[in-house]
Structure 1
């Protein structure tokens, strides 16, 4: 049996004579034993180097990868191996921003998947549990639910409010405590049905509608620190007199249930769950996943809308609020791309990557840092029709927690509740407060600089109050 890096099985040795496998590929030969090894994190398979600096300098470099996976697994899902491209290019757009070698390794691994055509690491690229975050994956015919993950439809919404930019942060703090939990001021089912066509699968999670969830999700009031592009600011009616609300949240348990369903279809036996498998988009399983995926995306959009309503109601500012944008950065969508070997129908998977073909985009920094409204411009194929979705983690959560001092714990907590920009942070989960500390994220200015060829900055946003979830509702 023959294996490429990462345990990718070559079921057809004749592929060596097609020219599609790089000549310097490392090949493992066994006498029938399964591949159980794993590359070390500091030994990425292709583009990346062993040093962080070299990894960051690989921007716009390309490589090829092959993955024939396990033929029986592929065939049982109706995939024709002969009809799929088996090579993908890799681009990493990080020049100034730090890239963890583990993220490179994960990115390279995805490039070896059947049907993969292009993999793009955004400047906020960082390692995920198994697959990288801050990345875009372009495939043909196949879709990969695991690359999108369980928080399908996670994204950002921005609202212009009637609140004055002179509002004191403490006034917001006084109003926003104990905001999470089931929405009791109205009927969640009625609200959902007024916005989208609900299904039985979705209605079982109505208790989570209008809630942020854990991790890096937030609701944040910001003001315009700088109007950079006056023409676009006028177009979107952006000014320095009002306060704006950013909401970052997703589909909660709805997305989790969709992913679990697809996992059961793709990997019915326990041992198969470690393999990243794809679904033919035009198969019954593919159509089912896409239908449920789209419902989860719609649910997430409605969720952000209700979160905004709940937050603004506390401040008597729900009336006259105007939605400026709402984008998904965890999703898959079809797109016809002309520059990939002619005109082809492709599937763009975004995992922590904002779309660059939908107009205005918000790219938030870590709490206590500026955020940016940007407008994509120029050819967007090179960056996978996507942008960074934020600053990107610099430290894993466990390491961020280790920075919590044992002594003067209460003083440290208090220090994190006020940022260097003078904004307030509402977070009743002390662990989450440390996990999400500003030092745990990359420098947002590096992210924006790396995106310079693809965007123009419209406005710089300064936070005045950030709301995180309550302790008892953490997921």
Structure 2
């Protein structure tokens, strides 16, 4: 991956968003701050860019040093798309929505054997396997709306009649514990080949694989609710860092809310009220994109402000629990229902238009939401302390 010299102490920033895209000023400011971090060589920002806790979400960062805060607390968070062996038209959405309430309960599978089969060691967070988590995480049944690239769709076995499951989740408390450990004394910058750098990467890589396994188990639980079997289409993390050898010099490529674009087709979801997209990356043509791609629509408004923008009185809940395609939204937490309302997110069509116009990808197929599951019960039932912990742990 090529790099350019720093100018005024900042690495070059390549923004893949047109003037039609709305990007918050705080996100741009955070982007400049990241470009000035020690060792940073290049930054690529996608049209879904928005402010995050330690840096903007929706970017990739190439650096001589590992910056754990740029990966964030939900290490390995990503999207997994799965095809079911049942026709979408045969799903009874009301019944399916009711069965999905089981996802609020702990998974009753054999955790030890599943971890062993995946080559993962046990941790104190393994009871969370098979659970979605809070924030913007979800499990969604989908149907193909349109196939735009039939040849590519056929190569991966897409069938417009089948139902699909898209899972967005991560490493739960495991990733949070790793970041917390690294930041005990403030923000860290680790040499990729040092003992501390290698120790972080070992823990990080374990969390990435744990998160991937978590998405698979969630998808299997959803498939069981539909009385179906499944097969994976693709699964990609979008919170991660990887070491790359650049002519004998090891560099770190961070992705924070950015999907890897060199591992097959990329799911790019909108909000719960819009279409989702499956795209074929073309980023080999753009080295300045750092082998990365947008991971979704990206937030337009933060969670706190959504409580003033969206009413969640009893009379409003019925509207929020349906999508424009006649599908169902399962979310028993009125606060989360407001925070994750479609209005909270950017225009997904604009995001897709940007990555297409910049030559980063082409659209293979679109998917419409059938049932979107976030959680069946309110997280305030155990008191405000539990809710505050949830926000701290899964803040994006």
CA gap of 1:63–1:418, structure 2 versus 1, over 3 A, is farther
Q: Distance in 2 between matches of 1:223 and 1:206?
A: 32
Q: Match for 1:256 among 152, 176, 185? A: 176
Is it true that 1:435 corresponds to 2:332 in the alignment? no
Residue aligned with 1:392, SS: coil
Instruction: Return the offset for 1:65.
Output: 4.4
**Rg comparison, structure with higher value:** 1
Q: Which residue of 2 aligns with 1:176?
A: 100
Q: Which residue of 2 aligns with 1:14?
A: none
Q: Any idea what the Cα deviations from partners look like across 1:329-387, whole Å, max 9, x if unmatched?
A: 000012346xxxx8854211000000111111000000110010001114241212111
Is it true that 1:403 corresponds to 2:314 in the alignment? no
Residue pair 1:152, 1:255 contacting (<8 A) in 2 also = yes
**Structure 1: runs of 5 or more not aligned:** 1-61, 67-86, 268-272
Q: Match for 1:353 among 237, 240, 258? A: 258
Q: Which residue of 2 aligns with 1:364?
A: 269
Q: Which residue of 2 aligns with 1:93?
A: 16
Q: Distance in 2 between matches of 1:327 and 1:220?
A: 16
Normalised TM-score (structure 1): 0.76
Is it true that 1:217 corresponds to 2:137 in the alignment? yes
Higher RCO, 1 or 2 (CA under 8 Å, sep at least 6)? 2
Is it true that 1:112 corresponds to 2:36 in the alignment? yes
**Structure 2: runs of 5 or more not aligned:** 380-385, 391-396
Q: Which residue of 1 aligns with 2:113?
A: 190
Q: Distance in 2 between matches of 1:100 and 1:347?
A: 27
Which range moved further: 304-313 or 362-371? 304-313
Q: Which residue of 2 aligns with 1:471?
A: 378
CA gap of 1:168–1:92, structure 2 versus 1, over 3 A, is same
Q: Distance in 1 between matches of 2:266 and 2:157?
A: 15
Is it true that 1:460 corresponds to 2:380 in the alignment? no
CA gap of 1:63–1:90, structure 2 versus 1, over 3 A, is farther
Residue aligned with 1:243, SS: strand
Is it true that 1:335 corresponds to 2:244 in the alignment? yes
Q: Which residue of 2 aligns with 1:64?
A: 7
Residue aligned with 1:118, SS: strand
Q: Distance in 2 between matches of 1:180 and 1:159?
A: 20
Instruction: Return the offset for 1:277.
Output: 3.0
CA gap of 1:213–1:65, structure 2 versus 1, over 3 A, is farther
Residue pair 1:224, 1:462 contacting (<8 A) in 2 also = yes
Normalised TM-score (structure 2): 0.90
Residue pair 1:416, 1:425 contacting (<8 A) in 2 also = yes
CA gap of 1:241–1:112, structure 2 versus 1, over 3 A, is same
Q: Any idea what the Cα deviations from partners look like across 1:286-341, whole Å, max 9, x if unmatched?
A: 01000000000011011111111111112221x3x11010110000012346xxxx
Task: Please give the residue correspondences for 1:174-323 in structure 2 after superposition, counting only pairs within 5 Å.
Answer: 174-184=98-108, 186-199=109-122, 202=123, 204-264=124-184, 267=185, 273=186, 276-317=187-228, 319=229, 321-323=230-232
Q: Which residue of 2 aligns with 1:376?
A: 281
Q: Distance in 1 between matches of 2:363 and 2:96?
A: 28
Q: Any idea what the Cα deviations from partners look like across 1:69-100, whole Å, max 9, x if unmatched?
A: xxxxxxxxxxxxxxxxxx41011111132100
The structure in which a higher percent of residues are helix is 2
Residue pair 1:219, 1:466 contacting (<8 A) in 2 also = yes
Q: Which residue of 1 aligns with 2:393?
A: none
Q: Distance in 1 between matches of 2:8 and 2:105?
A: 46
Is it true that 1:417 corresponds to 2:324 in the alignment? no
Q: Distance in 1 between matches of 2:188 and 2:120?
A: 30
Q: Which residue of 1 aligns with 2:383?
A: none
Instruction: Return the offset for 1:230.
Output: 0.6
